[in-house]
């Protein structure tokens, strides 16, 4: 049951990320630029988690612990920056495919650290997710794909940084309460965002209304996913956590349909279904193990 609850939290965190692309598009339509959007996301996210921490958890954290968690925040902010930079030179559908390489990168990192090959079920799940991503992203139906070396590099860097975020979230200072961990991680992300946009408070974007997007982006892009990952990833392997992170794409597609009225082809819906199958596969492994344990115990009791 603990495994399933942790998996649910990681999946919900990924779903929160799926909402961001639509919100960013709306912010761009209102004339805001990517640097201001990134800064708004992490500023209002940091303020929100600060309030939550003051109300619910005032535990003191040592400087060494704070620095370690702050470094994790750098990876989550870099994921956002690299992904947005990739979008400047390649198609969105292609950028999504590059970003979702984090599924196998996460499994690879886990294998290197633990010095063992991934299970067959994880490999099958990663392959399933890759096929589903290719279909759901719409890249197959898009015709000519714009190739850019810079775009490809930034897209793969986004995948790598996201994998590192998931990996370290499940291993660094896990004994600290999730709220406090989330605050430290978000602080690191905010520091990186501020170096990207040092004139944020002077360029007038706040008075122009970017705060409306910042509040929602902060909640769904900095508070909830970081908090959910902080709760769930310590109880899961890196491979399973990154696989569950693929839940972002189906949510992104559904939200774009509802809010932006975008059309989705049958092939894309098939891709979404395949992704969901890929997300379920790692859970089946644990359930089968539990069933085998129960069966063994029953046989032992009967004997």
Neighbours of 183 (CB within 10 A): 28
pLDDT digits over 120-141, tens only? 888 888 898 888 888 887 777 6
Euclidean distance between the first and the last CA atom of the chain, given in angstroms as a whole number: 27
What pLDDT band is residue 239 in, cutting at 50, 70 and 90?
confident
How far apart are the C-alpha atoms of 289 and 294, rounded to whole Å? 9
Helix, strand, coil percentages in the chain from 3-state DSSP, rounded to 5 = 80, 0, 20
pLDDT digits over 183-235, tens only? 999 999 999 999 989 999 999 999 999 999 999 999 998 899 989 998 998 88
How far apart are the C-alpha atoms of 9 and 186, rounded to whole Å? 18
How far apart are the C-alpha atoms of 4 and 235, rounded to whole Å? 10
pLDDT digits over 39-95, tens only? 999 999 999 999 999 998 878 889 999 999 999 999 999 998 998 788 777 777 677
Residue 298 has pLDDT above 50, yes or no: no
How far apart are the C-alpha atoms of 206 and 187, rounded to whole Å? 20
How far apart are the C-alpha atoms of 37 and 84, rounded to whole Å? 10
Which tokens is 139 given?
A: 């890249």
Give the CA angle between residues 6, 12, 14 to the nearest 5°: 105
How far apart are the C-alpha atoms of 248 and 270, rounded to whole Å? 16
How far apart are the C-alpha atoms of 25 and 7, rounded to whole Å? 29
Which tokens is 55 given?
A: 């109300």
């Amino acid at each position: 049951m603990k495994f399933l609850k942790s998996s649910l939290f990681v999946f919900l965190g990924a779903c929160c990320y799926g909402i961001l692309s639509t919100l960013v598009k709306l912010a761009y339509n209102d004339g805001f630029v990517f640097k201001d959007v990134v800064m708004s996301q992490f500023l209002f996210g940091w303020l929100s988690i600060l309030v939550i921490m003051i109300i619910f958890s005032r535990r003191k954290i040592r400087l060494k612990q704070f620095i370690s968690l702050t470094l994790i925040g750098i990876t989550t902010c870099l994921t956002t920056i690299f992904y947005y930079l990739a979008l400047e030179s390649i198609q969105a559908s292609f950028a999504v495919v590059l970003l979702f390489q984090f599924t196998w990168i996460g499994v690879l990192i886990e294998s290197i650290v633990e010095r063992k090959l991934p299970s067959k079920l994880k490999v099958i799940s990663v392959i399933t997710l890759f096929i589903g991503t290719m279909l759901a992203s719409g890249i197959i139906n898009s015709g000519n794909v714009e190739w850019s070396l810079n775009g490809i590099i930034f897209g793969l860097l986004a995948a790598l940084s996201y994998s590192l975020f998931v990996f370290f979230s499940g291993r660094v200072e896990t004994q600290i309460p999730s709220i406090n961990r989330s605050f430290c991680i978000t602080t690191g992300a905010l520091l990186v965002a501020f170096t990207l946009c040092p004139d944020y408070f002077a360029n007038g974007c706040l008075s122009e209304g970017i705060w409306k997007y910042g509040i929602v982006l902060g909640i769904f892009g900095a508070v909830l996913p970081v908090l959910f990952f902080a709760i769930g990833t310590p109880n899961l392997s890196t491979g399973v956590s990154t696989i569950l992170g693929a839940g972002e794409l189906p949510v992104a597609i559904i939200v774009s349909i509802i809010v932006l009225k975008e059309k989705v082809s049958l092939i894309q819906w098939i891709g979404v279904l395949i992704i969901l199958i890929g997300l379920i596969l790692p859970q089946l492994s644990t359930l089968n193990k539990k069933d085998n344990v129960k069966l063994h115990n029953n046989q032992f009791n009967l004997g």
